[in-house]
Amino acid sequence: MQRLITFGLTMILSASIAFGQNNSNAANKADTIKPGDNLVIQGIPPVPAELAAAVKKYTESIPVSFSDWHPVRREMIIGKRSGNTTQVHLVSSPLAKPKQLTTFPDPVGGGTFQLKTGDYFLFSKATGGNEVSQLFRYDINSGNVTRITTDDKKRNGGGPWSSSGDLMVYTSVMTGTKQQNCDKSAGCRDKN
């Protein structure tokens, strides 16, 4: 009888240890990050899911770039990611939450206030990833956006304002034209 009890307890203990190990392995597999099927992982221990969650705030930052100071008020415009694209935001006071001003599906570049009153700012934007940027005017009071360059075959970019603040120098480069090699002795010829 003693042997039967010892055998029974041994079986129960063995089963509970085996069952416990299987559960902990299943729990460990569920609590780790599984690499993609396209990766061959050798000699690297599993990454705990809680570690990935703890470092997430460091891996998903939102870059912010300064664009311009308002000429009259204590405000600035910045470029900040909204969704998958950079948009123009207004920061109206120190430590204030940025207010999104532009909401385009394509990224918006820069932003520069009109030099004297700051009633509007200019920014650049391409469409559909074509990299042919155009210049736009954003009216601060109404929120209206007006395109100010009109040639879709030229890539335009902003430059400095005149000292009077009513004119702005901008760059304009033709796109889709043939490149040429030029030198003084042979003249110009198309690149192949």
Instruction: Give the whole-angstrom CA distance, residue 115 versus residue 75.
Output: 13
Question: Which DSSP string do the residues of 116-129 spell out, in sequence order?
Answer: TT-SEEEEEE-STT
Half-sphere exposure of 129 (CA within 13 A, CB side): 1
pLDDT by residue for the chain (192 residues), tens digit each? Answer: 566 555 555 555 555 455 554 444 444 456 888 888 898 888 888 889 998 888 888 887 778 999 999 999 999 999 999 888 999 999 999 999 999 999 999 999 889 999 899 999 999 998 888 888 999 999 999 999 999 998 888 888 888 888 888 888 888 888 875 555 566 566 555 554
Closest CA to 126 of 145, 106, 112: 106
Within-domain flag for 185: no
Q: Give this prediction's pTM.
A: 0.63
Contacts of 151 (CB under 8 A, 6+ apart): 172
In this predicted structure, what is the pLDDT of residue 192? 46
Number of domains within the chain:
1
- 8 A C-beta contact, residue 176 and residue 164: no
Within-domain flag for 53: no
Within-domain flag for 70: yes
Q: What letter would DSSP give residue 114? A: -
Within-domain flag for 18: no
- CATH label of the domain that carries residue 99: 2.120.10.30
Quote the domain boundaries for residue 83: 59-174
Residue 174 region by backbone torsions, left for phi larger than 0, else alpha for psi between -120 and 50, else beta: beta
In this predicted structure, what is the pLDDT of residue 25? 47
Within-domain flag for 7: no
Within-domain flag for 19: no
Within-domain flag for 113: yes
Within-domain flag for 90: yes
